[in-house]
Amino acid sequence: MRIGVVGAGTMGAGVAESVARAGHDVTVVDPDQQAVERARSRMRDSLRLAILLGRTARPKPAEVTARVHWSGQITDLRAADVVIECVPERIELKEKVFAELDRVCAPGTLLASCTSGIPVARLAASTTRPEQVVGLHFMNPAPLKDTVEVVRGPRTSQQSLDRALALLTSLGKTGIVVGDGPGFLLNRVLMLCIAEAAAAVGDGIADAETTDALFEGCLGHPMGPLRTADLIGLDNVHDTMTALRELTGDDHYRPPATLVALVEAGHLGRKTGRGFHEYR
């Protein structure tokens, strides 16, 4: 299968690696050459690490990277069977990308979004093929996470849903289907949890270490909400909360001051070495 990925950030690189590991050809489009270079090196590291950790002996990293093509032009996705959009969580940007994909891609191309919470109906409305638009909410890091939240928009056809689920099966992943709506299921709940945890830190109730220790120790969560936010990327968490607040009108999604301050200081979580926690 020929897969297109739009955006070579954290998720675009991870999704492209998952797809290439499964034997599909993938073209990743990002106009930012530095983002492309970072994604290439992240993918090489991730493939080496997988072998070191014994997670996979095959395919060889060189075989995987040979299946990945990098481009700055969205028109290079003309021949893709499926395109997975992974650009930042901003409504107007994603709408623009979907309108472009609709113009560029063949009539049968399935258009998927990795959005954290922008309704599929909204993205589908930017195209002339709403029945071929679906949400594929991969988790980070995509090559390691076996389950994907699959979002069926009000106009997504059964055939498109089946194609999306078959693609995930070919990647060795399981899709769990949910209905459409801001934040879908996971981020509708998770973003409120992160917002409250960050606000509690701001109120001096507990520091970040204590907050996560409670979720991990008392509730058995493998990762507390603030460590999870650091993994997602605090800029992305900020954008997702902002989009959810805009879409729902619910002030509980307003990014709390502690989060805003970290983003403004450039402390974006694991990817910059510091967020709510410090990373070496």
Say which of 24, 137, 238, 277 is annotated catalytic: 137
Interactions with ligand NAD, residue window 134-153 (CB under 6 A): 137-138, 140
CB of 57 to ligand NAD, least distance (A): 27
What span, in angstroms and rounded, lies between the C-alpha atoms of 132 and 113? Answer: 11
Q: Is 126 in the site for ligand NAD (CB under 6 A)?
A: no
102 is an interface residue for ligand NAD by CB under 6 A: no
Give the closest residue to 134 by CA, choosing from 116, 148, 108, 114.
Answer: 114
From the CB of 230, what's the least distance to ligand NAD, in Å?
10
Contact segment (CB under 6 A) with ligand NAD among 17-25, 172-180, 212-220, 233-241 equals: 233-241
- Which residue has the CB atom at the shortest distance from ligand NAD? 9
What residues have CB less than 8 Å from 278, skipping those under 6 apart?
none
- Determine the interface stretch with ligand NAD among 27-35, 61-69, 164-172, 188-196 (rule: CB under 6 A): 27-35
Closest approach of ligand NAD to the CB of residue 138, in Å:
6
Query: Quick check: is 137 catalytic?
Result: yes
Residue 86 touching ligand NAD (CB under 6 A): yes
| Contact call for residue 46 and ligand NAD (CB under 6 A) | no
Nearest approach, Cβ of 122 to ligand NAD (angstroms)? 13
For ligand NAD, the binding residue among 4, 9, 143, 182 (CB under 6 A) is 9
Residues that bind ligand NAD (CB under 6 A): 6-12, 29-32, 35, 86-89, 93, 97, 114-116, 137-138, 140, 232-233, 236, 240
Q: Which residues participate in catalysis according to the annotation? A: 137
